[in-house]
Structure 1
Amino acid sequence: MRTLTLTPNYFALDQSLDRFFTLVLAAALPHSGATPDALVVAEERQEIAAARGGDDDAFRRIVQRYQSTIATQMQRFSRDPTVVEELVHDVFVEAFVSLNAFRHRSPFEHWLRKIAVRVGYRLWKTQARDRQRRDALLSEPTLQAALQTPCQTASDANDRLHMVLEMMSHRDRLVLTLLYWDDCTVAEAAELAGWTQTMVKVQAHRARKKLKRLLEEINIEETNHDA
């Protein structure tokens, strides 16, 4: 009878076969051979499916998993913690509403971060539009002299404008907000406020005069105080 000689190559072959069967078993029993990342992906798929079906707890777990990541990303759009918190909230609201549009073609985190970029960019656009509207009001010829005092910056003028607006009546603030902040036409402002167009024009004229008077009074008080 021929004796089988166990050479190093034989042991190498034996180890390869052992590895092969290990991989086969891992494929047959996914949980036994799955990596942690694969487990997270599988769990995430289940949570997404459950959230689509109305499971609030499943979506809450998704939020908890990515909240820190999204918060870090939104800090690039604002340094104000309150604003960042609102942005993070908006990102997950949009994600929840759009959840059925996610097709698993890319990692869920990438999809979520794209939403975050849109939300952050929208904030910047809104802030830029608000600055333009404030500048439009600040550039009113009847208000420029009242707003400008020696050594006053544009930021100071803007702060002063907001302070004075808070001193005005609701009707005055409403008409100025609609025409300058919301960039409405007279017709649009009339429809939103429930007024006639003539009333909007009259109220806006009175509001601008009142705003100018209040600003002048504040300037006089500050001048007397400094003297």
Structure 2
Amino acid sequence: MSVAQPLAGPSVEKTEYVRANDGVDRHDRAVAVARAVSERAESERADNERTNPADDELIGKSLAGDHDAFELLVRRHSSRIFNIIGSFFRRRDIIEDIAQEVFTKSFFSLSCYTVGRSFEAWLARIAVNACYDQLRAQRRRAEQPFPQQAEREDEWLELQMVQAARSRHASEQRRLEAFDISERLLNRLAPEDRVVLVLMDRDGFSVKEISDMTGWGQSKVKVRAFRARRVLRAAMKRLTASAERKQRSAR
């Protein structure tokens, strides 16, 4: 009677060879996948650069006479510029005039722009300076108001404060009236103080960012902000007290 022999398994040498080859295959596949991903990313980056060129590239083309390149720059940054100007002025015609002035100045000053820096920040600085110039011009026109005009202005503000005290409902009308009050109070600030206060408290820019946009030192920015807040607090305190007196006398 013959005894069945066990089936012969793979030799140790063959098993090690298969394992080694399997490791090589996995490594090669991983390298191939990584190469494909890298090539795809590079292709997408190149496509993006062709369809959405960087600001510096567009500036170079603009300086070479490509007006379409500058038009793309305007479209890319117009929203930011309109937002900055809209923080200082409400009239649409004034906002549009200043925006046109900003982009005109930037076009003729492109050769002064330092390649590699933030074009958006450079453009924002031109916008802030244009707003500052407009505020100074308005201030000069209103430097010598007639006493009757100043008195009527105070009376209007006091009336709005009284009406706001009588109606505590947060309606759209009340919101607009509150905005009118804040705008008229801001108009009483010096242009430098108003620029700093609006950029800091309304738009949320830091002291350093405001310093970069205005070209003023950080110490000056801090002093302007402190002075503007102090003036507004004093004006609000005076108007509130006057409005409360009128409200009590009307009862």
TM-score of the pair, normalised by structure 1: 0.49
TM-score of the pair, normalised by structure 2: 0.45
Higher relative contact order (CA 8 A, sep 6+): 2
